[in-house]
């Protein structure tokens, strides 16, 4: 094979720009008339939340690099400054499209369904009177307007909070006339106010909090005239900084850093589209932002708050049909999970399969007198967790309970600290993983005394131990008593809690030690097989593909003739379809009712297929800076099932998007007389027996 420089910048795509493209695909769900109306609104809110995180983390990081004078480029050879310029253009386009979609399509469609967001200009006299009373009784007592003068500087603005900039005329009781004030809306206040039906309103009539404050703001400035008032929101850098070389108590360090997230450096200003240039310039200077950081919007500055009405509105016809997750036959016929797992492995594919067996496994372990110890990793669990309850009960009953809690799970740090304190109070051993390496592996191990001696039972997953997200995210979970796999998990827990080295693992691949090298070897093996005329194929389903060396290995395998099919939900820095480089690589993204979260790796291996599932994506952080677990699916029936389900995703022609070599995506549609196929719907049909 001829030599080719696989480091050429035009072979790689910026991860940040790729992330914006993913948000476009999510927003396409909000634009799709085939999606139930309230679910379309939910997708719009999800897009808004995703964009918030893009600014809080990725764009904030780029701005930080610029401020430090960093000019180092990524594989695509774009400096931080160049990336920010392109991001600004694409983000402005996408956010403008969000508000166009809201105002021109979703709000009118909701109104046709008698779900109304009533503008100030359309309030009736009765509505105005009720809202004025509501303002005086519920809002006025908790609002604290701040006039801006030398004694009252611009207040600290909480990250992503709702605020108002007010222009005033006249003098206050002390003769002051600064001309400007700020009103902050406390987060305890509802952003949507439901009008009472007894006042002659419809069942689902809503008013934005911002509209109410806007209308009655004069009540806050007695004797002065409000000449203009405009809502605004500031997005801040929300990445925590913990100097892991200097700390001696990670829990206290993270607790100490959490408040700073609320007031990190400003990275974006959202403001009403009718705000004056003078006020915008004033706020830009205050927050040290540039014009490209300003987003003028025609609607609420936080679209995500609209999702609250989805639960308030009882209209099942405007939502996805509910479903009952499937319970595998092996588990449906036995109440004793230990007996089942002693005979066979069980594979769960959430949300199509119920998450209940995972909870039941921990509950049974906490109540079983023969269980001696439970060990578990927790990354995200949610504020109220049945799994944490089971661990608490186990510790109280005298079992040895060891929990590895990752305190630095982004945006879940406070919840994880609460869980850690709760477990410590009942005597569980709580550790916080390895300094410098996030513990991202999803593992639970139970040690049980049986007639034959001690036996281990293990659960390994691709997703978090979070019952709610198990209804929303697709994830695989393997429950097994396989001796080699259980021994590997035991060794990893020993590694996480002690200071010694761990001997070689039997079946599991682990970051930061063996996963990367093993993946590279398996990709190269497929390339060698292709060159030798053997069966060679790679199918990978992950959330993100960013790591440059992996991409180079895939390019090389493609050039060797390996058929490579990548199902990458979000960021993908690889370019498919480049002549002579990635002709044999297809990249697709599936965006549907559930967030695709499974990580699956299939290698043809010359006709003896290998299938692995993992907690890790193909990103630098997962492969080198986290503790991750990648586990084989050895049972031939379970392996065949995973392969068959991968084929559903590869055949999807309704919710799949095919990536083009320029980084754009085209939504797939049935061709000719081919039937429409949605992978998620096929799996739902199988789970519900339809």
Residues that are catalytic: 440
What 3-state class would DSSP assign to 279?
Answer: helix
Angle between helices 15-31 and 80-101 (to 10 degrees): 10
Q: In angstroms, rounded to a whole number, what is the distance separating the alpha carbons of residues 348 and 447?
A: 21
Could you give the CA distance from residue 208 to residue 204 in angstroms, rounded to a whole number? Answer: 13
Q: According to DSSP H, which parts of 448-510 are helical?
A: 483-497
Whole-number Å distance between alpha carbons of 117 and 82? 40
Angle at 111 between CA 106 and CA 116, to 5 degrees: 100
Q: Which run of H or of E encompasses 93?
A: helix 80-101
Give the largest Cα separation in the chain, rounded: 89
Chain position carrying tokens 């109220």: 384
Euclidean distance between CA atoms 11 and 27, whole angstroms = 27
Collect all residues with Cβ–Cβ distance below 8 Å to 129 and sequence separation of at least 6: none
Number of continuous H segments (helices) and E segments (strands) in the chain:
21, 27
- Of the candidates 303, 392, 245, 385, the one whose C-alpha atom is nearest the C-alpha of residue 43 is 303
Give 419: exposed, middle or buried? Use CB within 10 Å, 0-12, 13-18, 19+: buried
Report residue 237 as tokens. 């850098």
Compute the distance between CA of residue 340 and CA of residue 459 in angstroms, rounded to an integer: 13
**What angle in degrees, to the nearest 10, is found between the helix axes of 80-101 and 60-67?**
150
**Which tokens sit at 348?**
């769960």
Closest among 542, 602, 536 to 563, alpha carbons compared? 536
Do 232 and 165 form a contact (C-beta atoms < 8 A)? yes
Distance (Å, whole) CA 590 – CA 597: 11
Residue 531, CA distances (Å) to 558, 605, 624 in order? 11, 13, 30
- End-to-end Cα separation, the chain, in angstroms: 50
**For the sheet containing 180-184, what is the strand order?**
146-147, 180-184, 163-169, 225-236, 266-272, 294-297
> Cα(586)–Cα(487) distance, rounded to whole angstroms?
37
How much is the CA Rg of the chain, to the nearest whole Å?
27
């Amino acid at each position: 094979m001829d030599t080719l420089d696989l480091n050429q910048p035009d072979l790689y795509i910026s991860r940040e720009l790729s992330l914006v493209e993913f948000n476009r695909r999510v927003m396409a769900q909000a634009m799709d008339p085939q999606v139930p109306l309230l679910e379309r609104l939910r997708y719009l809110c999800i897009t808004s939340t995703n964009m918030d995180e893009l600014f809080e983390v990725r764009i904030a990081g780029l701005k930080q690099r610029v401020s430090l004078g960093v000019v180092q480029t990524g594989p695509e050879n774009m400096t931080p400054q160049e990336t920010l310029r392109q991001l600004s253009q694409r983000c402005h386009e996408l956010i403008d499209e969000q508000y166009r979609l809201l105002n021109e399509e979703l709000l009118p469609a909701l109104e046709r369904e008698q779900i109304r967001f009533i503008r100030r200009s359309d309030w009736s006299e009765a509505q105005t009177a009720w809202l004025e009373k509501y303002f005086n009784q519920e809002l006025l007592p908790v609002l604290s307007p701040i006039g801006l003068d030398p004694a009252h500087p611009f207040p600290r603005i909480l990250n992503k909070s709702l605020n108002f900039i007010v222009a005033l005329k006249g003098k206050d009781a002390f003769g002051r006339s600064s001309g400007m004030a700020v009103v902050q809306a406390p987060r305890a206040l509802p952003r949507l106010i439901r009008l009472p039906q007894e006042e002659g309103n419809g069942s689902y009539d809503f008013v934005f909090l911002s509209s109410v404050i806007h209308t009655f703001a004069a009540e806050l400035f007695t004797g002065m005239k409000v000449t203009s008032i405009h809502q605004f929101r500031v997005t801040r850098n929300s990445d925590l900084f913990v100097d892991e070389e200097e700390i001696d108590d990670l829990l206290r360090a993270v607790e100490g850093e959490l408040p700073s997230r609320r007031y990190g450096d400003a990275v974006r200003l959202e403001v009403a589209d009718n705000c004056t240039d003078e006020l915008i310039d004033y706020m830009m200077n205050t927050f040290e932002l540039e014009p490209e950081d300003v987003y003028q919007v025609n609607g609420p500055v936080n679209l995500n708050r609209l999702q609250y009405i989805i639960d308030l509105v009882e209209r099942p016809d405007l939502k996805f049909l509910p479903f009952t997750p499937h319970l595998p036959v092996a588990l449906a016929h036995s109440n004793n999970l230990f007996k089942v797992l002693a005979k066979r492995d069980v594979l769960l594919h959430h949300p199509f399969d119920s998450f209940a067996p995972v909870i039941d496994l921990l509950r049974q372990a906490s109540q079983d007198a023969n269980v001696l110890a439970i060990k578990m990793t927790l990354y995200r669990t949610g504020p109220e967790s049945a799994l944490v309850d089971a661990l608490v009960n186990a510790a109280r009953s005298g079992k040895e309970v060891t929990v590895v809690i990752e305190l630095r799970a982004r945006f879940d740090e406070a919840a994880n600290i609460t869980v850690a304190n709760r477990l410590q109070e009942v005597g569980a051993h709580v550790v916080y993983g390895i300094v410098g390496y996030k513990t991202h592996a999803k593992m639970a191990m139970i040690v049980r005394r049986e007639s034959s001696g001690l036996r281990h039972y293990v659960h390994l997953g691709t997703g978090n131990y979070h019952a709610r997200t198990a209804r929303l995210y697709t994830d695989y979970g393997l429950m097994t008593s396989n001796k080699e796999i259980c021994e590997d998990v035991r060794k990893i827990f020993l590694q996480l809690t002690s200071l010694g080295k761990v001997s070689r693992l039997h079946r599991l691949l682990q970051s930061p030690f063996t996963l990367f090298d093993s993946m590279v070897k398996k990709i190269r093996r497929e390339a060698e097989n292709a060159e030798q005329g053997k069966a060679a194929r790679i199918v990978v389903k992950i959330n993100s593909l960013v790591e440059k060396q992996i991409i180079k290995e895939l390019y090389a395998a493609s050039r060797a003739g390996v058929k490579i099919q990548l199902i990458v939900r979000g960021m993908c820095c690889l370019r498919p379809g480049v002549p002579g480089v990635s002709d044999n690589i297809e990249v697709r993204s599936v965006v549907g009712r559930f967030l695709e979260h499974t990580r699956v790796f299939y290698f043809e291996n010359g006709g003896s297929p290998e299938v692995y599932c993992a907690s890790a994506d193909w990103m630098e952080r997962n492969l080198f800076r986290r503790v991750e677990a990648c586990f084989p699916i050895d049972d031939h029936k379970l392996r065949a099932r995973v392969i068959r389900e991968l084929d559903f995703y590869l055949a999807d022609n309704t919710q799949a998007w095919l990536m083009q070599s320029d980084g754009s995506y085209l939504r797939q549609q049935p061709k000719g007389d081919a039937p429409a196929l949605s992978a998620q719907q096929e799996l739902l049909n199988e789970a519900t027996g339809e």
